[in-house]
Chain A
């Protein structure tokens, strides 16, 4: 079967589980006897099946078409890729990105922090064909976090050193959280070693715009409300009775949790990186984070809340540096304009 036919068939097949899910959902909505839990399980099973199908379609076909026959090892990080697909310049970008990521981790959080990346295995494969033209580089990088998807939803091959550094820092963050099962579940892929200011702003916005009035109270500075929405065990208190929200909705997305974990790292410094692996003394992620940072849960919450408050206005209002840049460029263009005198 030729490639084009295979791809079309794959696309048709990938729609089948969706149709099946829709057909299942329609009668279920009318059947009162069927519990929502049962329906949820069936939909979840279908979703898993869809994921498996997609993975099979993408990865297996690629492996046959483009074997991962080449590799690059940089300080404990192994990158596998199809030899014919990546040129020397792109190899250098991959190498530089990994080295930069390790350096920035060590500089910011102490020597040895970059060991979080040791033993990392990363493979780059292409979904349908070899990139026979440089702009046909839609790629599938196994092991990438879902958050690392590009704006259009596809995976893209990060071939600038900066993008690879971002990816590697994201991997290191994931590794750090995986040292603690409770935090791994609490934060997921939302932890980032990047600066907290942007994350704090996003978290504040998410809290302020949440459908949960408890989350909105948290954004307003009520510490007890913050403790409630950040506690997975207090799920039944996430929404007030007057809130209109779906039964299984989250009060706040994982990005808010990630911002709290990032604040704990800022407060605790390098000790946080070691302490996070210690046995848990509590099931509450806030307590675990505060203990690892060496402060009380209330102190951590206050530090986090203060960071959120500071982040609001700084993102909405233009800064002096911003105005200075605009005036600089205006002056620059005015200078150019005076260069030619009409005759």
Chain B
């Protein structure tokens, strides 16, 4: 049954996955071009352009995973979830398999990022002290995409058709909470919440780590 779910999931999302894969594949080379496209890197020129790569990839991990989580649910919702509810398995098991199928498709863009990173680095003559971390970058992206995917997935399957409104309310709630704490003079509480969310091992800690393609 999982094979069937995986196949349908792939058929629904393959265009999206291909688009995300193409973008992440091109990103390292684009970052290199933005930094001046030097073929020999010496000194600080290594940082040029590559600094933008991390934020760009993090943004794509968030956005791509969100779309991949939402789209299959939307297809199911159009038929009022008749297909999954008619299956001889529990809802929990079905959701688990749907989640796993979506999570597996994220491996494709991660592989594309690895290949794109290798390709970009192959165009550069690296000084002996610097190394390419294309594999580490792809793994980091995959982990970030997993977390973003699971958050979007949970939001969609909990809130259903009201997911967008709930997502907006959550964002507004967080902004309001931080503003309220600041106004109340409880900045350290706000800092503690921020650290919990964005620092390892918090849920979004994977996004705040350094994402580097070339490093010592």
- Identify the A interface with B (CB < 8 A): 87, 89-90, 93, 133-135, 137, 159-161, 201, 204-205, 207-211, 216, 219-220, 312-313, 315-318, 321-323, 325-334, 336-342
How far, in whole Å, are A205 and B210 apart by their CA atoms in the complex? 14
Identify which of B2-10, B18-26, B39-47 touches chain A: B39-47
Residues of B within 8 A of A135 (CB): 182-183
- Residues facing A in B110-166 (CB within 8 A) are 127-131, 133, 136, 139-140, 143-144, 146-147, 149-151, 153-154, 156-158, 160
Please determine whether A325 and B150 come into contact, CB atoms closer than 8 angstroms: no
How far, in whole Å, are A341 and B81 apart by their CA atoms in the complex? 10
Complex partner residue of B183 from A133, A330, A340, CB under 8 angstroms: A133
Interface of B is mostly: helix
Residues of A within 8 A of B216 (CB): 201, 204-205, 208, 219, 312, 316
Identify which of B28-36, B89-97, B168-176 touches chain A: B89-97
Given A209-B44, A220-B128, A315-B210 in contact, is the A134-B182 Cβ separation under 8 Å? yes
How far, in whole Å, are A312 and B160 apart by their CA atoms in the complex? 45
Residues of B within 8 A of A315 (CB): 210, 215
Q: Does B62 contact A (CB under 8 A)?
A: no
Given A330-B146, A339-B158 in contact, is the A219-B129 Cβ separation under 8 Å? yes
Please determine whether A342 and B160 come into contact, CB atoms closer than 8 angstroms: yes
Please determine whether A330 and B129 come into contact, CB atoms closer than 8 angstroms: no
Residues of A within 8 A of B37 (CB): none
How far, in whole Å, are A256 and B187 apart by their CA atoms in the complex? 34
Closest beta carbon of chain B to A87's beta carbon, Å: 7
Given A205-B216, A209-B43, A327-B146 in contact, is the A322-B206 Cβ separation under 8 Å? yes
Interface membership of chain B positions 166-203, coded 1 if the CB is closer than 8 angstroms to chain A and 0 otherwise = 00000000000000001111011001000000001111
Interface of A is mostly: helix
Q: Does B52 contact A (CB under 8 A)?
A: no
Nearest 5 interchain pairs by C-beta: A325-B201, A333-B150, A160-B188, A134-B185, A326-B143
How far, in whole Å, are A126 and B128 apart by their CA atoms in the complex? 49
Please determine whether B143 and A322 come into contact, CB atoms closer than 8 angstroms: yes
By beta carbon, the residue of chain A nearest B84 is A342
Residues of A within 8 A of B158 (CB): 336-337, 339-340
Complex partner residue of A338 from B136, B157, B210, CB under 8 angstroms: B157
Q: Does B63 contact A (CB under 8 A)?
A: no
Please determine whether B200 and A337 come into contact, CB atoms closer than 8 angstroms: no
Q: Does B66 contact A (CB under 8 A)?
A: no
How far, in whole Å, are A41 and B92 apart by their CA atoms in the complex? 75
Complex partner residue of A318 from B47, B139, B185, CB under 8 angstroms: B139
Please determine whether A318 and B150 come into contact, CB atoms closer than 8 angstroms: no
Residues of A within 8 A of B99 (CB): 334, 337
Residue of B47, B129, B183, B203 most packed against chain A (CB within 10 A):
B129
Given A317-B136, A338-B96 in contact, is the A209-B47 Cβ separation under 8 Å? yes
Given A208-B127, A333-B154 in contact, is the A342-B81 Cβ separation under 8 Å? yes
Closest beta carbon of chain A to B180's beta carbon, Å: 11
Please determine whether A318 and B140 come into contact, CB atoms closer than 8 angstroms: yes
Closest beta carbon of chain A to B32's beta carbon, Å: 17
Closest beta carbon of chain A to B67's beta carbon, Å: 17
By beta carbon, the residue of chain B nearest A203 is B216
**Could you pull out 7 A-B pairs where Cβ atoms are within 8 angstroms?**
A90-B185, A134-B184, A159-B187, A159-B188, A201-B216, A321-B200, A342-B80
Residues of A within 8 A of B210 (CB): 315-316
By beta carbon, the residue of chain B nearest A321 is B201
How far, in whole Å, are A333 and B146 apart by their CA atoms in the complex? 10
Closest beta carbon of chain A to B25's beta carbon, Å: 20
Q: Does B72 contact A (CB under 8 A)?
A: no
Residues of A within 8 A of B56 (CB): none
Closest beta carbon of chain B to A336's beta carbon, Å: 4
How far, in whole Å, are A328 and B200 apart by their CA atoms in the complex? 12
How far, in whole Å, are A157 and B33 apart by their CA atoms in the complex? 41
How far, in whole Å, are A180 and B183 apart by their CA atoms in the complex? 45
Please determine whether B43 and A210 come into contact, CB atoms closer than 8 angstroms: yes
Please determine whether B127 and A337 come into contact, CB atoms closer than 8 angstroms: no
Residues of A within 8 A of B206 (CB): 322, 325-326
Please determine whether B209 and A322 come into contact, CB atoms closer than 8 angstroms: yes
By beta carbon, the residue of chain B nearest A210 is B43
Residues of B within 8 A of A322 (CB): 143, 200-201, 205-206, 209
Residues of B within 8 A of A333 (CB): 147, 150-151, 153-154
By beta carbon, the residue of chain A nearest B214 is A316
